[in-house]
Amino acid sequence: MTLKEKILEASRELFNTEGVKKVTVRDICNQLKISPGSFSYHFPDKDKKEKIVTSLYKMMLGEIMELVAAIPRDDASVIYFLESHKQLFIVQKKYKFFYLNLFDILNSHAEIKAIYLQNIQMERQMAKQLLELYVQKGVLKAGIEARQFERLVNVGQMLNNSWAIDAELHPQRTGKEQFIYYMNICCGLLEPYLTEPSLAEYQAYFEALEAQPMNY
Q: Which residues contact 123 (CB under 8 A, 6 or more apart)?
A: 157
Task: Pick the binder of its own copies from 39, 134, 179, 193 (CB under 8 A).
Answer: 193
140 and 195 Cβ atoms separated by less than 8 Å: yes
At residue 65, what are phi and psi to the nearest 5 degrees? -60, -45
88 and 63 Cβ atoms separated by less than 8 Å: no
Cβ atoms < 10 Å from Cβ of 210: 11
**Which residue, 7 or 112, is less far from its own copies as judged by CB?**
112
Residues in 142-181 at the binding interface with its own copies, rule: CB under 8 A: 147-148, 151, 154-155, 158-159, 161-163, 165-166, 168-169
Is 211 among the residues that bind its own copies (CB under 8 A)?
A: no
Is 67 among the residues that bind its own copies (CB under 8 A)?
A: no
| Total interface residues for its own copies by CB under 8 A | 31
Task: Tell me 140's DSSP state.
Answer: B
State the residues that interact with its own copies by CB under 8 A. 19, 100-104, 106, 116-117, 120, 147-148, 151, 154-155, 158-159, 161-163, 165-166, 168-169, 184-185, 188-189, 191-193
